[in-house]
Structure 1
Amino acid sequence: MAGFVQIIEYRTSKPDEVAALADDYQAKREAGGDGPRPIRSIMCSDRNESGRYFAVVEFASYEEAMENSARSDTGEFAAGLMELCDGPTTFYDLDIVRDANFS
């Protein structure tokens, strides 16, 4: 099965600013239309630990994810995210081995 997911774990006291940064990044990527980009992105807050968040970003492949990561606009987004975080982020790089839809 093809597919790749990157999970970014971070802590922030500025979740609205992180959401605005993500919205801006997405709008610019959609307007540009060039190069690989995520299939979808989900931002989650930890119900059990205030200030802890996760971004789950799905790509068609690991290669497309790495190509996306190498882009300057992705680097700018990452730098902006780091400025809004209360400490370091943790990245998890995961190959999709099963995908089930229960709808």
Structure 2
Amino acid sequence: MARFVQIIEFQTARIEEIEALGRPSRTEGSTAPTFRRILATADRDRPGTYLTIVEFDSYDSAMENSNRPETSDFAARFAALCDGPPVFRNLDVMWEDTGDSTINP
């Protein structure tokens, strides 16, 4: 199965609260999250705009993570801290270049 990436773009004036909200969600709950890694970024050209990049082993793994009660709770609290609705991009990884001359399909 191809790896899967979800990008969440959002605007907020409450980024510190969102950062604090995200930290415990990785370790709490009855099942372990299925993501491979999370990268939180701030848009230099648009202050108050942020993108979170979440990498999963597969689309199925992402859906398993989405179905966790902890994820649903986090999503509701996260949305309440945003200045508008977040935008979700769901991406299948076609290939990657890790910089070590290896290209992974």
The answer to whether the superposition gives a TM-score over 0.5 is yes
Q: Which runs of 5+ in 1 are unaligned?
A: none
Cα shift readout 1:57-86 (whole Å, capped 9, x = no counterpart): 000000110111111100001011001100
CA–CA separation in structure 2 for the residues paired with 1:97 and 1:91: 18
More strand by share: 2
CA–CA separation in structure 2 for the residues paired with 1:14 and 1:102: 35
Q: TM-score, normalised by structure 2?
A: 0.88
Q: Please provide the CA RMSD for this pair.
A: 1.4
Assess, with a 3 A threshold, how the Cα gap between structure 1 residues 65 and 26 changes in structure 2: closer, same or farther. Answer: same
Q: Which runs of 5+ in 2 are unaligned?
A: 101-105
Question: What stretches of structure 1 move > 6 A for 4+ residues in a row?
Answer: none
Which amino acid in 1 is paired with 2:78? L
Q: CA deviation at 1:55?
A: 0.5
Is contact 1:36-1:65 (8 Å) kept?
no
Percent identity between matched residues is 41
Assess, with a 3 A threshold, how the Cα gap between structure 1 residues 35 and 27 changes in structure 2: closer, same or farther. Answer: closer
Higher relative contact order (CA 8 A, sep 6+): 1
